[in-house]
Amino acid sequence: MFIQILILIAILVQTVATVYALKLVRATKYNSIWILFIIGFSALSVERVIQLLVFAGHPIPRLFMADVGFVVSICLSIGVMYAHKLFKYIDRLNYQRQLWSRRMLSGTLRAEEMARSNFSKELHDGLGPLLSSAKMSLSALQREEKDPARSEMLANTTYLINEAIRSIREISNNLSPHVLQDFGLARGVQNFIDKSASMHNVKILFTTNLGAERFESDVEVIFYRVICELINNSLKHAACDTITLKLTASPTELSLDYRDNGRGFNPELMADSGMGLSNISSRIGSLGGSCSILSKPGAGMQALIHITRPGAEGIAKPTPKHRKKRK
């Protein structure tokens, strides 16, 4: 009786599996696999029913039982052998989704940088010259003015215009760094470090072998933005006194090793804290690279970023040159 109950349970389970296989026939591309499983599970159910009949005393030809077993073995075996095609198809779909997401993110970042660049040019080439002209006119008036009070007023106005021109240049450069566009990644990063070190009591050590090599525009802009984000995070949140950056290029890879000796944090808890860690990972992911943030409270932080580029298009062989900034 116990064996008969087990056989009934097996029939029920195989029937449920057959129903799921029927649903999967239309849900996936390789429906022949599921058809084979349907036939196999159905044959298994028939085989279990035959076993029940045998236990009940009904004579069943052995040849018929052998035929059913043969059908079960053939269908399930072929189905399993062809299942790898389904997994390959799923992997291909996942890869296409990742590629599409990467292209969408890359397009978004490219559009963002283009908008930044256009706005920067409007400020630099439009408002900048107008303020410069106003400054020249005020300077001419100041030379002709004999009244000390008016001369002082003109001097103050000229000072304010100078500050406005300086602010416009700074905003324009932050929106779209001209040094990065004109001289490349190494010079752009060095220029940003010079400005940051002059405003904070933090020692920033920058080492690179890039020299004057140029890279694809997306690579330069994204790496520059990521480095700026990391430095700003350290200056604002880490309470560190030393930051080290090592930017290295090889014929197949561009990598960054970034460290600070600040208070550290838990990367999992800080992922959505506004420090831009997810934004950094997204930007590097748009280039097909990897980004690892290593930190723990009281032990500083380290960011390891790698972009592997088979064929090395846009990445030249590095030259042995080092840059350092100390403060």
Query: Distance from CA of residue 252 to its chain's centroid?
Result: 19
What is the C-alpha separation between 105 and 278, in angstroms, rounded? 13
Q: pTM score > 0.85 for this model?
A: no
Q: Is the pLDDT of residue 270 over 70?
A: no
290: closest CA among 250, 256, 247, 259? 256
Beta strands in the chain (DSSP E): 203-208, 242-249, 253-260, 290-295, 301-308
Average pLDDT over residues 277-303: 85
pLDDT digit string, tens, across residues 65-110: 666 766 777 777 777 776 777 777 777 777 777 777 667 766 766 7
Q: Is the pLDDT of residue 323 over 50?
A: no
Grade residue 243 by pLDDT with cuts at 50, 70 and 90: very high
CATH number of the domain at 177-327, please? 3.30.565.10
Q: Residues of the chain with pLDDT > 90: what percent?
A: 9
What is the C-alpha separation between 223 and 244, in angstroms, rounded? 16
Average pLDDT over residues 145-157: 78
Fill in the DSSP letter of residue 208.
Answer: E
Task: Look at residue 255 in the predicted model and tell me its pLDDT.
Answer: 92
Average pLDDT over residues 190-213: 87
Q: Give the helix/strand (H/E) hosting 124.
A: none
Fill in the DSSP letter of residue 316.
Answer: P
Grade residue 272 by pLDDT with cuts at 50, 70 and 90: low
What is the C-alpha separation between 105 and 61, in angstroms, rounded? 66
Check: CB of residue 72 under 8 Å from CB of residue 44: yes
SS3 170: helix
User: Of residues 318 and 283, which shows the higher confidence score?
Assistant: 283
Q: Going by C-beta distance under 8 Å and a sequence separation of 6 or more, which residues neighbour residue 85? A: 30, 33
What is the C-alpha separation between 25 and 38, in angstroms, rounded? 9
Task: Look at residue 1 in the predicted model and tell me its pLDDT.
Answer: 64
Query: Distance from CA of residue 290 to its chain's centroid?
Result: 7
Check: CB of residue 294 under 8 Å from CB of residue 179: no
Q: Is the pLDDT of residue 311 over 60?
A: no
Residue type, 142: Q
